[in-house]
Chains A and B, each alone.
Chain A
Amino acid sequence: MLSQRDVPQYAQVAAGFQKVNPQARVADVSDGAPVVRDSDVIVAIGSKAFELARAQPGTAAIVAAGVLSPQPGGSHPITAVPMESRAVDALDALRALAPNARRVLVLHPPGDSPMLAEARAAARARGLSADFRALGDLSGLEGALHELLQGQQALWLLPDARLARPEVAKFLVATCLDRKLPLIGFLAGMAQVGALVAVAADFDAIGREAAKLASDVAARAPATRSGVPFRFVAGHVLVNGRTAQQLGLSGEPPAGAEMIR
């Protein structure tokens, strides 16, 4: 396992991993790349570890854990338990709180990604009419957002650091409150500043699932380790009770959700 020990979230991922595989040992990125054989499986926690692993020569398989939108490519077979949480959790929370919200605007980073595919599949499975819009240059968003939200009944944000910036996040929250629209974010802090729902990463769960995934990959012959699908784990659902009240929503929060008031 390769990680950055000074990042608490990564430490949680590593701890989760070790709950499933207590023998696993963590090397730090500051110690440089470990020597690996092509038959090995490298578990890379965090983007820095992931980049370091991917830069290594050879064809050892990589399991990225807690990485935001890990990109496959290069000589290594790559799979992941990304930082992004399972998409259905966001939509189930929306359905529980606002069952009448059927038309959803989904803002996501440019380009295809397993998370985007997961989100599309989840929206289809829940029978939602989802309008997926890639966000390139954000400079026009302020004007465009009102147009994009026309006719929509909710706004769902897929993880994107640009949207997490405090002023942007607060702008999105305020816009949705003004328009009486539920907003689904991806950071606990977003729910704290007024998003109706936030599905935040559960780092312990990511670690545990990464351990299972690594075990599954290791069980395969090296030649068959490519194309193993990413696995998304359940996130930590937070519901802002004040916002729910302000939006006039009477639906019950999903089981296990943390209420913020």
Chain B
Amino acid sequence: MRHNRVAIAAAAALAAAPGYAQSSSELELFAADAVLKAETTVASIRPATVRETPGVVTIVTREEIVRSGARDLIDVLRNVPGFSFGVDVEGVVDLGFRGVWGHEGKILLMIDGLEMNEQLFGTLQLGRELPVDQIQALEIIRGPGSALYGGNAELAVINVKTRGAAELQGAYGAATYTQSRHQFGERTLSLQYGQVYEKLGGLAVSASGWFGQANRSERPYNDLFGASAPMTNGASRINPGYLNLAAEWKSLKLRFVYHNLDTKSVDGYGNAGAPVQESFISMLGSVSYELKVNDRLRFVPEVQYKRQLPWRTLDKSSVVFYDKTADRLTGRLTAVYEPIEQLSIAAGGEIFRDRGWLNDGDLVGGQTLFNGSPRVQYGTTALFSEATARTPFANLVAGARFEDHSLVGSSFVPRLALTKIIAPFNFKMLYSQAFRAPAQENLALNPLLTPERTTVVEAEAGMQIAEGMFASVNVFDLTIHDPIIYSAEPATGVQSYQNFRRTGSRGVEAELRMRDRRGSLTLAYSYYTAGPKNQVDLYATPDPARVLAFPAHKLSARASINIGERLSLDPSATWISRRYAATGTDSSGAPTFATAGAQLLLNVFATARDLGFNGLDLGLGVYNLFDVADDYIQPYNSSHAPLPGPSREFVARLSYQIALP
């Protein structure tokens, strides 16, 4: 009987119930309602709770982000199992996951469902990249999502859900200033407005903006050849510009996102040099409409357009000169059919056209043709499906995606998930295949590339230990066949891509979340071993179980302590084990390595709310309290020295939220 499955948890909850005041406040109802509604669609088309969703999912809430004083996604993701960071080239920092470098198209980042990965290489650029105080929730699939999201969702998916009209119901502004010893780390302004107009049929509109200046580091970049370049005085700047406009009326949704990181870097392809200006510009838009035929059948047509100018360097004297545009036009139709309560079937098709072109015909620096042509165009057709069946045995989710690229051919990735709640426990068994389609520039440098293919097997067990206390442990086995690997020659800037034979990892991750009226505590741990999986020599280290840049162990803790009604204190700490960095070659040409010791980053942030005015909040804190040399190591051996990250920074954020009638 289904009753028996929930009885254990209910018994615990009921037994604890006398502790609740019998004359309760409606605020408790609001909180309970929010928990009951907490479902996600990040890992499935059919909404499901985190415990039932067919993926290993972490959700980070706005409250957690704002209270922690996080400055960017790096600060947030440090506390999520599996994520690490590394440097590519030209000052760009990106993600590794489970011991695999995810920089080029292996990890999908979305803002409100719009893909942020740039289309020429598939990369992301992290560090002061988004206004994290505007995030409503960060939904993270710690595992593949290709069956749903396609060729950039090979290792993980990060969906940034920003605050919309319903959450804002007014205006919000925040000024953030951070200061390290020698220079400011960030000075930015974040503004939002959102309102639902009932008189206009429930029209919801929101507008969010963020702009300012930031710096990557104040420490110098010392390359592997004995040269050094300071990163102060704007030489490592990251100046963000961001606009997010949304409107929703009945079933029609429109969104436009503009994003620009205007940067300077001194590391080029590895050699320290004079600062080079570079920008990463994205413009994304979408229109969708949900057409409900009846209670059982609905269609969602959607059109998305994305235009990007990534890695844009206009200095023709620089070895990294580059000026190209890429765009993608996507048409998608999803149908969801739920013939009976226990069964949901979703299927759809997607067509997208990718184009790339040179904005400048001078073939100097990094500016090259696309296989001999100034323009390139590819077409892709995809079909996807997902079926969810709720059976007495377990919930079963089966899905697949077939994608056919006009040059590299087809990929087919199935997924299968079994989820089961036997309260207070929950269990998941997940099998997924995923892929990464080569991006335009990958193919320009090597038209013989084939899609890399990944198989991931995961199992998760969770337990609701008590009200507000939840623990989960998951294990994974990840194998990438034919990985597309990048390397660059520092002196000449000559770049190449090749399909290698295999890489991957296996490991374990765990999370413990506790929350009560006194505050909250989140503990996270992750471990990987590359063991026999990795056969990419550019990733290898003297220890076969480890790859470059990524620590085998990561342990993080974040607490939020309520001190009275208006004050909270949020300490957080991340400890990582030692890492390997490549340092060059010895006289015989064999690679040489150094190790970066274990590292503890400690942060403290305090927030005072309603200072004089209701809605006026002030946050003050320190990041990297011990002033640890937090470096980003290159995860592939391509003669790039570790790139310095932020030093100890004092952080101040003043925000004001005003509700409008």
Contacts and interface: CB of A to CB of B under 8 A. Distances in A.
Interface residues of B, number: 53
Contacts of B170: 11
A169 B32 contact: yes
Interface string A211-242: 00000000000000000000000000000011
B17 A137 contact: yes
B341 interface: yes
Contacts of A246: 341
Given A5-B659, A6-B615, A162 B3 contact: no
B29 A241 contact: no
A187 B33 contact: yes
Contacts of A8: 167, 169, 659
A12 B573 CA distance: 38
A67 B340 CA distance: 39
A187 B13 contact: no
B35 interface: yes
B9 interface: yes
Interface in B6-23: 6-7, 9-15, 17-18, 20-23
Contacts of B566: 30
Given A11-B169, A14-B661, A69 B2 contact: no
Contacts of B32: 161, 164-166, 169, 187, 189
A159 B22 CA distance: 11
B10 A142 contact: yes
Contacts, number: 159
Interface in A121-170: 136-139, 141-142, 159-162, 164-170
Contact of B26 (A47, A110, A165, A177): A47
A67 B1 contact: no
A15 B198 CA distance: 11
A77 interface: no
Contact of A192 (B24, B25, B37): B37
B29 A7 contact: no
A182 interface: no
A254 B22 CA distance: 32
A189 B14 contact: no
A69 B23 contact: yes
Nearest to B660: A15
A177 B342 CA distance: 13
A47 B6 CA distance: 32
Give the residue among B15, B26, B29, B609 with the most A Cβ atoms within 10 A: B26
B7 A171 contact: yes
B41 to A, nearest CB: 13
Contacts of A161: 20-21, 24-25, 28-29, 32
A136 B170 CA distance: 41
Contacts of B609: 6
Contacts of B22: 109-110, 136, 162
Nearest to B421: A170
B27 interface: yes
Interface string A244-255: 011000000000
A142 B7 contact: yes
Given A174-B6, A178-B3, A261-B295, A164 B17 contact: no
Give the residue among A14, A28, A66, A138 with the most B Cβ atoms within 10 A: A138
Interface string B444-486: 0000000000000000000010010000000000000000000
B518 interface: no
Contacts of B341: 242-243, 245-246
B3 A167 contact: no
B406 interface: no
A140 to B, nearest CB: 8
A53 to B, nearest CB: 15
Given A83-B29, A138-B18, A261-B296, A171 B36 contact: no
A9 interface: yes
A130 to B, nearest CB: 22
B343 to A, nearest CB: 10
Interface string B311-343: 000000000000000000000000000101100
Contacts of A83: 26, 29
Interface in B31-81: 32-37, 39
Nearest to A134: B22
Contact of B10 (A4, A48, A170, A242): A170
B29 A164 contact: yes
B29 A166 contact: no
A165 B30 CA distance: 11
A189 B35 contact: yes
A52 interface: no
- Counting from the closest, the 3 A-B pairs by CB-CB distance are A189-B36, A171-B10, A161-B24
Interface of B: 1-3, 5-7, 9-15, 17-18, 20-30, 32-37, 39, 167, 169-170, 198, 295-296, 338, 340-341, 423, 464, 467, 566, 609-610, 614-615, 657, 659, 661
Interface of A: 4-9, 11-12, 14-15, 18-19, 28, 30-31, 46-48, 66-69, 71, 83, 109-110, 136-139, 141-142, 159-162, 164-171, 174-175, 177-178, 186-190, 192-193, 200, 204, 241-243, 245-246, 259, 261
Given A5-B614, A14-B659, A189-B37, 15 more contacts: A5-B615, A11-B170, A19-B661, A46-B26, A161-B20, A161-B29, A162-B22, A164-B28, A165-B13, A165-B17, A166-B35, A168-B14, A177-B2, A204-B198, A261-B296
